Amino acid sequence: MELIDTHAHIYLDQFKDDREEVLSGAISSSVTKIYLPNIDVSTIDPMLNLEAEFPDQCRSMIGLHPCSVNANFMEELKIVENWLVKRSFAGIGETGTDLYWDKTYRQQQIESLEIQVNWAKMYDLPIILHSRDSLDLSIRIIEKNHSEDLSGIFHCFTGSLDQARQIIDLGFFLGIGGVVTFKNSGLGSIIENIPLEKIVLETDSPYLTPHPYRGKRNEPAHIKLIAERLAEIYDTDIALIAQKTTDNARKIFKAN
């Protein structure tokens, strides 16, 4: 069995004391690849250093997180763009919109996302979208900028069935993480109506830890708990969930 974690921030300081053990635990749990979404300029070096140390397991993406968008966001984007020119990445992200913490830079978030959408098209890379309390907004932006060569993942999907179908119609995939294991999330009743061919697994480590470890630090090994929950939702075995979601991840990232 092979599992892929399409979204984990294991380059952050929460893993500084046991990062190697965390990666060993992921391998023991059948996780063969971990995709690393960037946050902002401050995380680029730690992310790339981790990839360099564990090139067979870790693959970096590049982007600017909406929560890092501020009055100087164009300066940060210029640094990100310079990295895109320098070397290859697996995707653009983590980008998107976030209206949960602060709406001050809403317009700048939209502008930042549209710039990064253009990069995804230019470099033929998938785009990874964060949409906390702003899923409809992110969907509208992707619809506005849609083209046949644009695809990616709506990370940490917790929306409605209608929103899920809109995303799928745009050629995007749903990133399903620990929330699906939460007792009262209601996400299972939505996911069961979505083709497994449009779903990928993610942990968002160190965040959104699945049950029964909720409240503790998340890590890629926990992807197995998410796969087990999906096996229950789809009334199938975990091997099929692993096979389908791994195939989907490889399709999105073009095996990068």
97's enclosing H/E stretch is strand 92-98
Q: Which fold has domain 3-253?
A: TIM Barrel (3.20.20)
Average pLDDT, the chain: 97
Each domain of the chain, given as residue ranges in start order, spans: 3-253
At 208-249, the pLDDT tens digits run 999 999 999 999 999 999 999 999 999 999 999 999 999 999
Residue type, 78: K
pTM exceeds cut of 0.85 = yes
At 46-71, the pLDDT tens digits run 999 999 999 999 999 999 999 999 99
Residue type, 184: N
Residue 128 · residue 63 · CB < 8 Å: yes
